[in-house]
Amino acid sequence: MELFDFQGLNCYSNCIVSAAHRLKVNWANAFVSMWSETDFRYDPVRKTYLSRRMIDDLARSGAQMRIYLCASPQDAEEAFSHVEEGEVFLVGMDAFDLSWAPLYNLMHGPHYFLAQKRAEGEFPCFDPTYSLQGVSISQKIVLERAFDITRLRKIPPAPDDSCPKECVRRECRAALKSHPILLQAFGHRIEECAVRDGERAALAARYADALISNRYLFRYYLEKHRLIGALDLFSDKKFYAKWTAVKNGFYKVSVSAAKESLLFELGERVESLLGREMRAARKFSENV
C-alpha cells in the first residue's frame, strides 16, 4: 500500500490521504479550497484544529468519510461492525499502546494509523507517519483502546468541469472574501489573550498551526498543476517562517506575564501576512 506523508499533513490527514489513494480517488483536488478555510473543527482529545473542508471536498472527489467516535469498547465494537472484511480503515489510539511507535510505553499521546480488517482478528497495519508497513495489531486491542474508528468508502465524484487554473482563481476570490473576516477574528483573539488565561493564547497558536497546514496543502495543489509560479508567495520559505513566528508568538504569550507588547507585535504580523496574501490573490484573479 502506498503511504503519503508530506508537509501540511499530520498523522490523521496522512492516513486519510493514503486511504483515499487506495480507493483511486483524486485526493489532491480537496486541497484547492484550503487557503480560504477559517471554520476549523477543534478536537479536544488531540488539542488541534482540523479541516472541515478537506473532508467535504474529499467526498466531492469521491471518498466519503464516516467517523465513529468511541467512548467505550462497546462504541468501538458497534463502529467496527460497519467495517467490511478486507477494508482499510483509520484507527485513533494512544501511542503509548502502539508497539511500533516511538512513544510506546513512554508517553501518552493520540496517534492515527491504518488497519485492514481480517477475519482471523489480527490486522495488518500501515502507518504513514513512520512510513511503516508489515506490523499488526489484534482486534481485541483495537476494540479495547480505540477512541476513533473512521471509514472511507468510494462514491461517485461530484461533476466539475473546472480546470485547475479556474479552481485556483475561484479560491483566490474566496480568500479575498474570507481574509478580512479572518483578520477581524484574530483581533478578537488578541483581545481575549490580553484579559484571559494562557489557554486562550494556546488555542490561538493551535489555530495558526491549522492555517499553516492548509497553506502547505494549497501549495501542494499549485505545484501539482504547475501554477506555483503564478502564486509564488506559496513557494517562499520566509512566508511560512513568518506564519510560524505568529504561532510561536501565541505560545509565548500563553506562558508570559508581559503580554501587551507581544500581542501588539502579533497583530501587526498577522495584518501584514494577510495583506500580502490578499495582494497575491487579487493579482492572480485579475491577471492569470
263 belongs to a structural domain: yes
pLDDT at residue 185 is higher than 70: yes
Looking at the structure, tell me whether residues 184 and 206 fall in a common domain: yes
53 belongs to a structural domain: no
Which of these ranges, 5-14, 35-44, 254-263, has the smallest mean pLDDT?
254-263
38 belongs to a structural domain: no
Q: Which domain holds residue 181?
A: 164-287
Looking at the structure, tell me whether residues 195 and 276 fall in a common domain: yes
- What CATH number is given to the structural domain containing 132? 3.90.70
Q: How many domains in the chain?
A: 2
| Mean residue pLDDT across the chain | 94
Tens-place pLDDT, residues 223-246: 999 999 999 999 999 999 999 999
Q: Report in angstroms the alpha-carbon separations of 80 from 23, 125, 202, 232.
A: 19, 15, 35, 45
> What mean pLDDT is predicted for residues 44-61?
93
Looking at the structure, tell me whether residues 67 and 187 fall in a common domain: no
Which pLDDT does position 260 carry in this prediction? 87
54 belongs to a structural domain: no
Name the nearest CA neighbour of 230 among 163, 287, 170: 287
Looking at the structure, tell me whether residues 141 and 180 fall in a common domain: no
235 belongs to a structural domain: yes
pLDDT at residue 288 is higher than 70: no
Looking at the structure, tell me whether residues 171 and 247 fall in a common domain: yes
Looking at the structure, tell me whether residues 144 and 15 fall in a common domain: yes
SS3 for 119-182 is: CCCEEEEEEHHHCEEEEEEEHHHHHHHCCEEEEEEECCCCCCCCCHHHHHHHHHHHHHHHHHHH
Q: What is the CA radius of gyration of the chain?
A: 20
Tens-place pLDDT, residues 139-160: 999 999 999 999 999 999 988 8
Contacts with 164 (C-beta within 8 Å, 6 or more apart), sequence order: 32, 221, 225, 227
Rounded Cα–Cα distance for residues 136 and 133 (Å): 9
| Look-up of cell digits 488578541 | 190
